[in-house]
């Protein structure tokens, strides 16, 4: 017999004393021949919390938590005959009462080990990570002249994690082309792509301007006195001014402001592309925690354009231009309203930028779609999703990276 699982009813926690006593039918009887343990209750299969590992000299009650002391039951041939054993604690030695085979287990209060702070079991927190897609540019600071100043283009969902992988080498997830040619600096990135496919297409076109259908007709080549970084910036400017990316709510971000350089005069980023500086948020900072209070969710209102009820959260669009704006719309109604003002309703499905019909402030359509997507994911991840039909978070979800 190697292991025996012992039910907690076998242990009698004597009041405030830390010393447990073995009582009732769970008495431990040790025979001199085979050291078998008898009297174990039948329902031991349903308790995997306490384990007794017997050996020839010592029986140990292993701890369920740090708060429970370690128990040791020394046995010998002398005390086997008297059916009496002493329970030695980690913090001292106390004598247990003689074993009584006829006694029955008493009804015991819950073990103090099961209690948590406040008397309630801590619930598992539910969270949603806001989606992020970016194409970045690395510049080498290698002391080797053949590698110094070279650039590398890549795609990632977390820039902070990715730069660590590149500088760590292939063993920690870095790319083969950057292994042993660093250290690397992530100088700039283009972020805000709606999905992974759009970001990967932008990455491939940046790496292969002579093969991309978007750029190959322009015959973009590196000039004689142009640095590798300036060449990559010029390629990025050409791409964000080309279809399909010129209609997206993209951001051109300088991650290292001292290395910022002017854009080419012949082709600058379009008006809907924001130029920013500074580091980006990591996944922990982009995590949206789900609220469970009754006052943290409200029922969806009717559309301010068609004045009809919004049935599903997937059809909802909120104004992100202002936190105080109470405008709620159908996605189709808001897109049609924006296309009517821009005059693109015959050729496009959604506007690049538009004004809120309620507050009149301008916003980018891609930013509104990202906020709407996060709202949908939050409601889908809610543990009480079935009872939250027609509800949305009271506070607007607008993740600024």
Residue 282 pLDDT: 81
CB-neighbour burial class of residue 307 (10 A; exposed 0-12, middle 13-18, buried 19+): exposed
254 pLDDT band (50/70/90 cuts)?
Answer: very high
> Distance of alpha carbon 307 from its chain centroid, rounded?
38
Residue 124 pLDDT: 56
**Domain co-membership, 50 together with 22:** yes
CB-neighbour burial class of residue 175 (10 A; exposed 0-12, middle 13-18, buried 19+): middle
**Domain co-membership, 135 together with 273:** yes
Which among 232, 254, 277 is the end of a domain?
Answer: 277
Outline where 64-151 has alpha helix (H). 77-82
Domains in the chain, number = 3
Residue 125 pLDDT: 61
Is residue 108 predicted with pLDDT exceeding 80? no
342 pLDDT band (50/70/90 cuts)?
Answer: confident
**Domain co-membership, 220 together with 253:** yes
**Cα–Cα–Cα angle for 64, 68, 69, rounded to 5 degrees:** 120
Reported as a single tens digit per residue, the pLDDT across 269-327 is 999 999 999 988 888 888 888 777 667 888 999 999 999 999 999 999 999 988 889 89
Residue 272 pLDDT: 93
pLDDT, mean over the chain = 77
Separation CA 117–CA 374 (nearest Å): 33
Reduced DSSP (H G I as helix, E B as strand, rest coil) percent helix, strand, coil of the chain, to 5 = 25, 20, 50
Tell me the pairing of strands 71-74 and 20-22.
unpaired
Reported as a single tens digit per residue, the pLDDT across 58-102 is 344 444 444 445 444 444 444 444 444 433 433 343 444 444 444
Kindly report whether the global pTM for this prediction surpasses the value 0.85.
Answer: no
The domain containing residue 176 runs over which residues? 129-277
Reported as a single tens digit per residue, the pLDDT across 185-223 is 999 999 999 999 999 999 999 999 999 999 999 989 999
41 pLDDT band (50/70/90 cuts)?
Answer: low
**Domain co-membership, 208 together with 186:** yes
**Domain co-membership, 50 together with 79:** yes
195, 133 contact by CB (below 8 A): yes
For residues 114-141, average pLDDT:
74
Q: If you search the block for the tokens 């041939």, which residue do you land on?
A: 77
Domain annotation covers residue 401:
no
**Domain co-membership, 22 together with 66:** yes
**Domain co-membership, 331 together with 230:** no
For residues 44-68, average pLDDT:
44
288, 378 contact by CB (below 8 A): yes
């Amino acid at each position: 017999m190697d292991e025996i699982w012992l039910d907690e009813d076998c242990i009698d926690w004597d009041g405030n004393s830390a010393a447990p006593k073995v009582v009732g039918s769970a008495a431990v009887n040790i025979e001199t021949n085979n050291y078998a343990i008898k009297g174990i209750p039948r329902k031991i299969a349903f308790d995997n919390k306490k384990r007794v590992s017997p050996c020839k000299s010592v029986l140990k009650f292993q701890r369920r938590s740090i708060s429970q002391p370690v128990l040791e039951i020394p046995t010998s041939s002398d005390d086997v005959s008297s059916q009496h054993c002493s329970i030695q604690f980690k913090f001292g030695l106390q004598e247990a009462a003689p074993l009584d085979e006829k006694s029955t287990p008493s009804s015991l209060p819950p073990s103090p080990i099961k209690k948590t702070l406040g008397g309630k079991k801590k619930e598992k927190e539910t969270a949603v990570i806001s989606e992020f897609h970016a194409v970045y540019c690395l510049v080498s600071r290698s002391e080797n002249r053949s590698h110094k100043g070279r650039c590398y283009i890549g795609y990632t969902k977390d820039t902070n994690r990715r730069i660590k992988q590149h500088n760590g080498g292939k063993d920690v997830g870095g790319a083969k082309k950057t292994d042993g040619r660093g250290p690397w600096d992530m100088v700039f990135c283009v972020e805000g792509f709606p999905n992974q496919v759009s970001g990967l297409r932008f990455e491939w076109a940046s790496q292969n301007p002579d093969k991309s259908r978007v750029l190959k007709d322009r015959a973009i080549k590196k000039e004689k006195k142009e640095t590798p970084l300036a060449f990559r910036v010029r390629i990025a400017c050409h791409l964000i001014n080309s279809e399909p990316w010129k209609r997206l709510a993209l951001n051109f971000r300088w991650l290292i402001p001292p290395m910022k350089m002017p854009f080419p005069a012949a082709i600058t980023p379009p008006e809907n592309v924001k130029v920013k500086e500074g580091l980006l948020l990591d996944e922990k900072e982009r995590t949206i925690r789900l609220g469970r209070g009754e006052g943290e969710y409200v029922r969806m209102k009717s559309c301010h354009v068609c004045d009809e009820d919004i049935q599903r959260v997937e059809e909802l669009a909120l104004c992100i231009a202002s936190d105080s704006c109470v405008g709620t719309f159908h996605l189709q109604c808001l897109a049609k309203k924006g296309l009517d003002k821009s005059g693109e309703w015959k050729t496009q499905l959604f506007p690049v930028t538009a004004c809120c019909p309620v507050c009149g402030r301008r916003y980018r359509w891609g930013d509104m779609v990202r906020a709407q997507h996060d709202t949908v994911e939050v409601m889908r991840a809610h543990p009480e999703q079935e009872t939250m039909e027609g509800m949305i978070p009271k506070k607007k979800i607008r993740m600024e990276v």
